[in-house]
Structure 1
Amino acid sequence: MKKSITLFFLLAIISLVSSQSSISDKQKAAIQKDTLKKGKAGIELQDNKLDSLITSLGKFKIYKKEAHASYYADKFNGRRTTSGRKFDNNKYTAAHKKLPFGTKVKVTNEKNGKSVIVEITDRGPFVKSREIDLSKRAFMDIASNKSSGGMQVTIAVLSN
């Protein structure tokens, strides 16, 4: 008797879940719009769309291999960059010694193959051995060891 009741409830739950999975496209669009407005995940979704849009509009040309990358210290958060923009450690930005401001750069971690697209908004790093300073968010997205302060990367510049 208990097995048949349990089986009945299990089948009822499965049918309920399967009926809910057939949401219309309009409902999915409404849910997605709501997510973009309210949630932090929506902001990340917009960033991913921006990255894929940039990638589809142009090609990346390798600028430098085996470059050393580090990330900004937290004390720079909120300060003005050389370009005049306010620095935010949660955005996908970077500092480079020579590349023009506004340049989109794809930075790929050579150890794990993860990459991120950042915009050059500042000058630096002011250490000879380093090529690029990433925002903390960009660095952590591609880092294999989250506690390390630097990594070997390949830098590719977006060419239209």
Structure 2
Amino acid sequence: MSKKVFVVLGVLSLLAGCAGQPTYDTRVIDTPQTRELKGHQKPYTVNGERYDPLRSHHGFIEEGLASWYGKDFHGKKTSNGEIYDMYAMTAAHKTLPLGVYVRVHNKNNGRQTVVRVNDRGPFVKGRIIDLSFAAAKELEVVGPGTAPVRIEALGYQVTGSSGQVTYREPVSYAPASYAVQLGAFTQAENARRFAAELKNRYGVATVAESVVNGQLFYRVRVGRYASLPAAESAQRDFVAQGYGSGFIVAFD
């Protein structure tokens, strides 16, 4: 079984798989560009190696070793804040969106099952997914400890009125998930005037209301970007054009 790292509310806490074994140096990359992402969506490092959680599972297929984790973690928090249940069909993955269902195929024996990703890990070289005890038992991985697998991301699970199970795209990972916030105003008219200027120049600009310490603010955001790198590139362009640093926001 591998050691695991848990990301809860933007803070990484390491729980070692076996007593006496060394721990990992784990950090969340928390910057103005990532401040509005949920904790488990933010980039993080483990022993200096960076991991960037994916914003979409579309087309994700991976092959490598699967491992499993059981009673040492039973009853403890997972990366999305749930309590780990070793008898539930769940798994840990380093970068897939949490909540997404994954089909896991054991290449040694042909057995396959579907698990829900609710945790981060494994951080042992060569391993791509950490299965719960129940999932590992179904795939006959418990005995050997690891097995070569092929995993395919499916989406969020939906059960119809007839009991038929299908999978849908998570709403929060839809295209056009990012914008660059360039200003926050206490006067709505000033915010609307700035947004109109940006809309004329760049095509898309919106005003979002928020309350901070009892004060109403009107936040001006520009653009609709399908990926974090695209938003980061746009932010650099805005800086070069004299709009200040701004920061990236993710739409729910």
Name the TM tier (shorter chain). 0.5 to 0.7
CA distance in 2, matches of 1:113, 1:92: 18
Q: Pick the structure with greater CA Rg.
A: 1
* Higher percent of residues as helix: 1
> Alignment partner for residue 156 of structure 1, among 152, 160, 165?
152
2:105 is the counterpart of 1:108? yes
Q: Secondary structure at the match of 1:75?
A: coil
Q: Distance in 2 between matches of 1:120 and 1:146?
A: 19
The answer to whether 1:140 aligns with 2:125 is no
- Residues 1:62 and 1:97: Cα distance change in structure 2 (over 3 Å): closer
Which whole-Å CA distance do the structure 1 matches of 2:89 and 2:152 have between them? 15
Indicate the residue corresponding to 1:64 in structure 2.
62
The one-character-per-residue Cα deviations of 1:77-116 (angstroms, maximum 9, x if unpaired) are: 0000011000000000000000010010000100111111
Note the alpha carbon deviations across 1:36-83, whole angstroms, 9 max, x for none: xxxxxxxxxxxxxxxxxxxxxxxx956113x10000131100000011
The match for 2:88 among 88, 91, 115 is 91
Greater relative contact order (CA < 8 Å, ≥ 6 in sequence): 1
Q: Does 1:127 align with 2:114?
A: no
User: Mind listing any 5+ residue stretches in structure 2 that lack a counterpart?
Assistant: 1-57, 156-167, 169-252
Q: Percent identity?
A: 39
Question: After the TM superposition, which parts of structure 1 deviate over 6 Å for at least 4 consecutive aligned residues?
Answer: none
Look up the SS of the partner of 1:131 in the other structure: strand
Cα distance in 1 for residues equivalent to 2:111 and 2:60: 15
TM-score, structure 1 as length reference? 0.58
- Asked if 1 retains the 8 angstrom alpha-carbon contact of 2:111 and 2:139, the reply is yes
Q: Separation in 1 of the partners of 2:65 and 2:105?
A: 11
Structure 1 residues without counterparts, runs of 5 or longer: 1-59
Across the aligned residues of Structure 1 and Structure 2, the Cα RMSD in angstroms comes to 1.7
Task: Give the TM-score normalised by structure 2.
Answer: 0.37
User: What amino acid is the match of 1:84?
Assistant: G
Take 2:109 and 2:136, find their aligned partners in 1: how far apart are those partners? 13
More strand by share: 2
Cα distance in 1 between the residues matched to 2:120 and 2:102? 14
Whether contact under 8 Å (2:105, 2:149) holds in the other structure is yes
Counterpart CA distance in 1 for 2:152 and 2:135 is 15
